Structure 1
Amino acid sequence: MYFEERKNKTGKIFYVANERYVDPLTGKKKRASVVYHSNTVRARRQAERELIDKIDLIISKKQGVFKSSTLLTFDDLKRNWFETWKTTVKPQTIKR
């Protein structure tokens, strides 16, 4: 984790805590950041906790969406899609 000091257009200073993590879906490295407004030890620790929570939330969302055990083959995916699609169209369309 590393911290940066940045200025916006008006010259106001703010601080950013950055951390890199590996995206479980793609395997690529990504970056997450949290902004805090005072450069004290207490603010840095709070920013660090928020950043860890943010990364955990991102990773858990991505892992929850794609579970490899639910779909084993392309045929399973096709059948699941067809069952869902069947409820949204007319019977004549299904016959075609």
Structure 2
Amino acid sequence: METVWRPVPREGFTERSTGRMEFKVGGLPCWLQDPQRHVCACGAEMAFLCEIPECTEFSRRPGRADQRHDSYGDSYVLLLGNAVHLLACPEHCHPAAVWPVPQN
């Protein structure tokens, strides 16, 4: 179960929800910094799709090149190891209508 936190709104402060930081598809995003909202080129507000926690390692296949300038050894990381949230267009206007939001 995810924790939801909804502060009492006041001037200059918006209501938000926070989920657990884990590798997940759907649910509530766990923003490490302020939540980010993006609008698709079609005009729809992009929706949370998935989250990759910071320092998530992806195994490197044998014989493949090392990731340059890293200290992860036999694995790769995305966007310097920062947490990554993917937002997608809920209108499905284009297969590539996805926006990465890195946070640290």
TM-score by length of 1: 0.26
**Structure of higher CA gyration radius:** 1
The normalised TM-score by structure 2 is 0.25
